[in-house]
Copies of this chain bind each other. A is one copy, B any other.
Amino acid sequence: MSFYQSLPLPAVRLQDEVFAPRIRTGIERTLPGAIERCRETGRLDMFRLQWRPGMPNRPHVYWTSDVAKVLEGLAMDYELTRSPELGRQLEELVELVVSAQEPDGYLNPPFTLINPQDRWKNLFNWHELYCAGHLMEAAVAHFQATGRRNFLDAACRFADLIDREFGPGPEQRHGYPGHEEIELALCKLADAAGNPRYRKLAAYFIDERGREPNYFLLEGEAFPTEASPDQLINRQAHRPVREQTEAVGHAVRALYLYSGMADCADAAGDAELLECCRKLFENIENRRMYLTGGVGSAARGECFTMDYDLPNDTAYAESCAAIALAFFADRMLRHTGDAHYAEVLEKCLYNGTLSGLSLSGDRFFYGNLLEVSESTATSGHQCRERQPWFDCSCCPTSFCRFLPQLGRFCFLAGNGEAALIIPAAGHVVCSPAGAPVAFDVSGRYPYEPEVAVTVRGSGRFTFSIRLPEWCPEVGIQLNGAPVSGRMERGFCKIDREWRPGDRLSLHYAMPVRLLRSHPAVAANAGRAAITRGPLVYALESIDNGPRPSQLILDQDPDFRLASAPDGLPPGTVAVSARARRETRTTAGSLYAPGSVSSEPVRVTAVPYALWQNRGPAEMLVWMRCDD
C-alpha cells in the first residue's frame, strides 16, 4: 500500500514561473495542435472504420496510442479547466473512439480495418497491447474528469477480452506486450473500475515476461515478427523480470514496465518485486542517466546501452523516456515514501522532459542532445531544431498527457502527512487528516531560494518538507521562529496541530554548483556542468558566440546570477561565469600543427530546458574547464 498518494488533478493549481506557463501552453497550443495533426494524418478518421486499401493515410499499428494519449491529455485539461469547449471536444472524440469497438470488445482500428485475422499474432512488434494500455489510461482519465462511464466501460470490455485471451490457462496465450505500458494501465483500470482482475492480468504480463520457453521466439516461429534472441533484450524479455538488475533495451518500454512493476508490487505488498524496481532505479540513476534526467543513449533501438555510456553529442535521451522516468520516479517516491526518488523526478521535470518542448508549446525534440555543434550531424536534424510533428509522433502526444500532471508531482499526501515534494508556487488542497486543508505555496522556486507555505485550514497532521539532496541546507521557520521536525526518509516532518494562517518560511540554499561526472564517463573528461538548485544550465551560441566547445571555464569561475537574455521568459535566472575563449588555428587545414591562444570572456548559461527557443543554436552542457 502506497506511502503517499497522488492528489486529484485540480487539487494542485500551480502558479509558478516554470510549470504553470507550460501547463497553459499545453492547453492552448500543444493539445489543439496534436488534435489537428491527428485529424490531418487520418489518425482520427480511422476510427470511422471507412478506410480501405488504396486510400491515403493507411493506419499504422501505433496510431491508436497517439489518439488515446491525446484523449487522456484532453480529459486532464478538461478536468483542470472545466472549459465547456474542451468538454464538448472530449465527448465527441470519446464517442468516435468508442464507436470503433468491435462486438467482442476489440478496439484498435488498424487491425479491424487491415488485418483482423492477425490479432495478437505479432505481439513483438505490432503494439496491440500497448495501444490497449493507452486506451485504458485515457478511459480512466475521462472517467475521473467527467464521472461518465461510457469510455471506461468500453475499456473494461476490451480488458475483459484481453483477460480471456491471455493468461496461464491451456487455451490462453502465454504472451505479453512487445511494447510495455498495459501493465501500469491495467493497475489504473483496476482502481477506477474496482475490478482487481485487471491487476492480476498486469501481474501475469509482468511475471510471464522473459520466461523460458520465450514467447516472442515461439511466436516468431508461427508468424514473421522479426524477433530474434538478440532482440529480446530490447524488449526486456531476455530473462524473467525479477532476475533483471540492469536497465536495458528500449528506454520507454523499460520504464513503463518498471512503472507497472512498481504499481503491482505496491498493491500486492510484493517486497521482492519492489526490490527489483529499486535495483533497476539505482542502476539508471547511478550509471545510465544524463545529468538532465535523459535516458537511453542509443538512437538505434532508442535504448539503454551500458554503464557510463553517456555521449553528449549523440545522446538519444528521447523526450518520452525522460517523461517515463519521471513516472517511474514518482511511483517509487509514492510507494516507498523515500524522498531520494524525488531527486531524479525533479531533475527530469525541470530539465530533460521540458527540453523536449518549445516554450510556444508546438514544436518538439524527439531526442535531447547535451551538445550540439555546427558539425554535429550524426544524430539528425530533429535533435537540433524542434519539429512540429513526427511520423512516429509519440513525443508530442506524450506532452499532451504529461503537462497537465505537472502539479500532481509537486505535492503528495498519505499516512497522515501532507508532503511538499517540489515547492513550486501554487494552491493545494488535500486531506492529510480527513478534513480538507488548503496550502498556499508562494515564492519564485526554482529561481529564488525563499518559499512560504501558508496553511488555510486546521487539524493535527504532519507537514513533510522534502530536503533536496542538491541543497546544502534548508532553513525552516514556522511563524517566524525556528522549528524542528523529524528527519525521516529525506524529509523534515513537522507534526502538530495546524491552524489557519500558520506560515512556514523555507529557505532552499541554492548556490551555483559545478558538477563533475564519474571518471568512467569518458565523454565528460575535462568538463564540468553548471547547475543551480534543480536546474541544469547550458551555453548557447546565441549568447556566447559560435563553437561553445572553444570556451573554457576558469578555475575561479566567479559565478554571478543574471537576468535571462531577451527572448526567454522574464524572471528566468541566467548564470554568468568567467572563462576564456580559445582560438585554435590550423590555417584552414583539417589537421595541422596549428597554434592555440585564448582571451578572457564572461559566458552566460541559461536553463537547459529553455535552449533552442531563440532560433537554431549550438549548445553545450558539459563545458571544458581548467583544473
Contact = CB atoms under 8 A, between A and B. Distances in A.
Interface of A: 285-287, 289, 291, 297-300, 305-311, 313-314, 371, 373-378, 513-523, 525-526, 529, 547, 549-550, 552, 582-586, 588-596, 598, 624, 627
B309 A311 contact: no
A313 B547 contact: no
Given A518-B589, A525-B582, 8 more contacts: A286-B588, A308-B374, A376-B522, A516-B592, A516-B595, A525-B547, A526-B549, A529-B591
17 contacts: A286-B588, A306-B377, A307-B375, A314-B378, A374-B520, A374-B522, A514-B593, A515-B594, A516-B595, A517-B584, A517-B590, A517-B591, A518-B586, A519-B586, A520-B547, A526-B552, A596-B627
Contact of A592 (B515, B522, B526, B591): B515
A585 B305 CA distance: 23
Given A298-B378, A525-B624, A590 B371 contact: no
A310 B378 CA distance: 9
A598 B519 CA distance: 13
A35 B367 CA distance: 44
B591 A516 contact: yes
B584 A516 contact: yes
A204 B477 CA distance: 84
A514 B624 CA distance: 20
Nearest to A297: B378
A596 B528 CA distance: 11
Given A515-B591, A590-B285, A594-B515, A375 B550 contact: no
Contacts of A523: 313
Contacts of A306: 375, 377
A305 B314 CA distance: 13
Nearest to A375: B308
B594 A516 contact: yes
Contacts of A589: 286, 518
A285 B590 CA distance: 8
A548 to B, nearest CB: 8
A378 B552 CA distance: 27
Given A313-B311, A549-B525, A627-B598, A520 B375 contact: yes
Contacts of A584: 516-519, 525
Given A305-B377, A374-B520, A287 B590 contact: yes
Contacts of A526: 526, 549, 552, 582, 624
Contacts of A308: 374-375, 590
Contacts of A596: 516, 627
A517 B549 CA distance: 13
Contact of A590 (B289, B300, B590, B592): B289
Contact of A300 (B299, B310, B313, B525): B299
Contacts of A515: 591-594
Q: Which 8 A-B pairs have the closest CB atoms?
A: A373-B522, A308-B375, A525-B549, A516-B594, A305-B377, A309-B377, A306-B377, A522-B549
A433 B593 CA distance: 40
A313 B310 CA distance: 11
B519 A547 contact: yes
A305, A313, A314, A518: which has the most chain B beta carbons within 10 Å?
A: A518
A378 B373 CA distance: 19
A596 B589 CA distance: 34
Contact of A550 (B309, B525, B552): B525
B313 A378 contact: no
Contact of A588 (B516, B518, B624): B518
Contacts of A289: 590
Given A375-B522, A550-B525, A517 B624 contact: no
Nearest to A300: B300
Contacts of A311: 311, 313-314, 378
Nearest to A597: B627
Nearest to A306: B377
A586 B547 contact: no
A223 B593 CA distance: 53
Given A516-B596, A593-B514, A627-B596, A378 B305 contact: yes
A516 B597 CA distance: 13
A377 B297 contact: yes
Contacts of A378: 297-300, 305, 309, 311, 314
A407 B307 CA distance: 45
A511 B287 CA distance: 42
Contacts of A298: 377-378
A313 B513 CA distance: 28
A212 to B, nearest CB: 25
Contacts of A286: 588-590
A307 B373 CA distance: 11
Contacts of A549: 522, 525-526
B594 A375 contact: no
